[in-house]
Amino acid sequence: MALYSEKVMDHFTHPRNVGVIENADGIGEVGNAKCGDIMKIYLKIENEIIVDVKFETFGCGSAIASSSMATEMIKGKSIHEALQLSNRAVAEALDGLPAHKLHCSVLAEEAIKNALKDYYDRNNIPYDKKLFPDCANCAHCHE
């Protein structure tokens, strides 16, 4: 069995939604140079719908594929639907990731949630703080 699925390889070699959104409504960044993966998600939101999403990822193929797939999964969705996106759903949509690369799907989930939190903060929209775990001390980036 191959280490990576065809979907992982496709999203790595032909990533969707790469780039920057100028004047984004929400920006989320996770990771650090020490762990090797840095992911930044940009959201354009109109009437609580994610009308555009872009990403910049510095990292391995699994991180790029996870970013690409996650952006595809939330594009056109409501902000409430996007908040429900889980790392498990991203990994399943990619037809699986090797166990030692599952943290890449976690980063994609966290980057999206951080971008949505940024959107709420910028617009003074109240939210349940439990929806946004503090990544400042997460184990996979701050060892």
Characterize 112-124 residue by residue with b for buried, 16 or more Cβ atoms within 10 angstroms of its Cβ, and e for exposed: bbbbbbbbeeeee
pLDDT tens digits, one per residue of 7-64 = 999 999 999 999 999 999 999 999 876 767 899 999 999 999 999 999 999 999 999 9
- Measure the CA–CA gap between 42 and 91, rounded to whole angstroms: 21
- Catalytic residue numbers? 35, 104
Residue with tokens 């699986």: 96
Phi and psi at 44, nearest 5°, equal -115, 120
Whether residue 142 has pLDDT greater than 80: no
**pTM confidence score:** 0.89
Q: For 14-122, where are the alpha helices, taking DSSP H only?
A: 61-74, 79-83, 87-93, 102-122
Mean pLDDT, the chain, rounded, equals: 90
